[in-house]
Amino acid sequence: MQPCVKSVQNYLTLKQNRKPLILSICLGILDNVLKSHIRSQNYEDFVILENILEIDLNFNTGIAFGLLKGKAEFTFLLSSLVLIWLIFQFKNTFANKIEEYAFMFVLGGALGNLGERFVNLLNGNNGKVTDFIELLFIPSFNLADSFITIGISLLIISELKNFRN
């Protein structure tokens, strides 16, 4: 009887978490649509705020902010494992809304970059992802990287909030 109850609980939690899961997919799609637009318009040195923010088309074979550059196959494998783990997290009940949003943002960013990397590995483009945001001294990044950073920041806030209680 216990496995059946557990299955029903997992189903109900997954059903409850369907909305954040769908929003994660939408974030990944938004990231890829924006990257596609940036590539098709070939934005280079488009200044938004002088010496602060500009759009400049770059490509990255590493993960967020240029880490593990040149190791696209490894980052694809690593990202795939993280993606699977993230999807399984949606079967659990989140501790609070902050944690729910955190996982939603991280999953959305992972879907965005992983989707593009997968297509570019298949096309022989070395698994590159499109980076285009240049902010101050930070290495070039994209919307998916921002989503992942926001999600991790929210997870830290959630953990600190839980630690205090």
56 in active site: no
Find the catalytic residue in 31, 45, 56, 131: 131
Cβ burial of 15 (10 Å; 0-12, 13-18, 19+) is exposed
Q: Which residues are catalytic?
A: 131, 145
